[in-house]
Structure 1
Amino acid sequence: MKKILLSIFMCLLLFNTTYGAEISDDDYYLKNSGYTKEEFQYLYNTIVKGIKNVSINEETFESVPYKPGINYVIKKAFMDYDHLNYVSGVRYVYSRGNRNIKNIYFEYNYIRDDIKKRMNEADVKADEVIKEIIKEEMTDFEKVVAVHDYIINNTRYDYEGFKSGKIPNWEHTAYGPLIRKTGVCDGYSKAFMLILKKLGIECISIKSDNHAWNMVKLQDKYYHVDLTFDDPYNEEGDMLSYAYFFIDDSEMAKDHNWNSEIYPKCDTIDFNYYKNNLGMIDSAKDETEFKEKITAAINNRIEYVYLKVDNTNMDIDKLIPEVLIENRYNIKISYSYKIFDDSFKISIIYN
């Protein structure tokens, strides 16, 4: 009888390992948790199982001891599976005797049946999007571009809800952008993550105190991608930008904050959109040079301009119209831009 019970337990343990990604030996959360890799992996898989199944309770069979580092396990699971996350809280119970964890409980913002319905709708829609926009001959980079463009072109950022502080909970999930066509930063991030994971492309969610975006891994290197910041709005309406598409830590840190200790390093721009696709990376020491660079960009129909400048007080809204008038361009353009301490990022749309 004892052998039978042991066999059942081992089968359950083996089944549990199918739920989550494999934890690497150098994982930040593992190294700081105080758990062995096997213990961490088991708890991680249990939590991921709960997230995926919208569980109320997952039993751990008292196989792993309680340690304060369990919070690292929870954070790791939520980071890796944030695209499925409707969980509002997690708590755990451990035995007073051997202090082994007995159960992990999940709390939700919605009725669980409604959550499952929304998760299923978003999942089905993600499959439809892949069928619509992804071609067999595409590289992984081209697939990421296609998903980035689809979400931005089909989602309206909820500025009204953001300003009023009244944002529906579903706008924080993949359901918002994919089904309701509206959302806020973590909704964009989760929709992006959901589709990329279906494509087998590694993608994680990055969170600061008041913002969310992604890191994408291509050819063993990580890059920042922020769909919300690539969906700027001006008087002409929504615009598609690549200013925050495959950029490194140094560039992202100009206007984003995150705990760099717990996330992978992004230290290359090999796949940066400006570098690889109709982009200009240059410098301008004064207004005359700025206008020369913009003229060259327009002449060559360049859509994305990154300029290092000596003076960020230049009036872009005055200089770009002057370029159009002085060159007598018979075209209409729309543009958006971001100003940093030492540079401009400008996106141009040719109408």
Structure 2
Amino acid sequence: MEQPQADRRETYLAALTLEIQKKLQKALNMPVQRPRLLEVLFADVALEVKDEARDSTLRTMYLAEIILNKEEDEITKTEQSLCFYDLLADYYVQAPQAGNSIVDLIVQLWSQYFVSHIFALLFHKWLFEVSVENTEVLLRYASALVQGSSNIFWIDIQTNRRRFLSLFRFLFEKVAIVPHERNKIAVQARRDLYLLLSRFLFFYNLDDDMLETFIKHFPAFPNAFLIGGPADVFVIEITDQLQKLKVEPVVLHYISRMSTLQGLELRMTTSTRLKACLYSFTSPGGPMYPTRAVRHAAWETLDLLFPVGRYPRHVISLFFRLLYPWCWPSSCWNFIKTCIRAFFCYFINKIIASWEKMRRPDTKSS
């Protein structure tokens, strides 16, 4: 008699769990090869189910057409490809005891770099479903979740991909803005979680109206009298994050998304910090060395958020541009290209308008 699909799915998930357990045990027994083994395991767990470009042990055992157990239309509608960690995280929620052996091995490997990554991917849902009585252990789990998620999101930043979007959405939609869920973790870990989500919120491109909801659910910070309210904390994290970015498309995306900050009530110090951050991207040279596209995007966002003093800022910027004589040729050339492009567009529009005007009598006569 043929085994039901649900049972087969659970069988393969259990086989995957056993394979992960074996790899963790191997890493524990082989200290010299431990970093490499954990790195490979993390890559396997983060692998897309339908990825055919890599020969993965997990993929070989998994048999994607059996284990998916989802409608194909549902999969194609998602913004990202389905990864192994998505399915395993759901499995450990449905069968918490299945992941206990993996958690025990992870605890023995806490000090290793990729361990927090693996824990965050596999047990980000499990952590909010199981009951952990020991407060110290719960704090350790929550801290590992935040630290691992931060490192994982930086991988997406560096590659300009959103493979870990489902992890971010879970932490945001199922934890951060759900009071009874976020209260399951310690206060310090909860604050760190909100700071983490603040840094990557613009990158994962959630709806603009979610920003207001997110800020309303911010926890209280002990130094709030120094740094300000939730909006100030959020903007401080965003400005710090923006200054760390090195990938041009990601920088452009962040700067364009910062237009959603318009209308936020900020302290003078926070507003000045935001203005200085954007202004640092408007000039060529160090320390940012922004490209022309980044400079123009920064100017547009800066003028949108801070319209007062717009023209004096541009005059001062022009003065300081004179201090970089090696940039004059490129600036002049870009100015000439812009003028030629504008003239060409104007000329083409005139020709099209004249042609349309000449056709109108023929249309009326016919």
Instruction: Give the TM-score taking structure 2 as reference length.
Output: 0.29
Structure number with the higher helix fraction is: 2
Q: Is the radius of gyration larger for structure 1 or structure 2?
A: 2
TM norm structure 1:
0.30
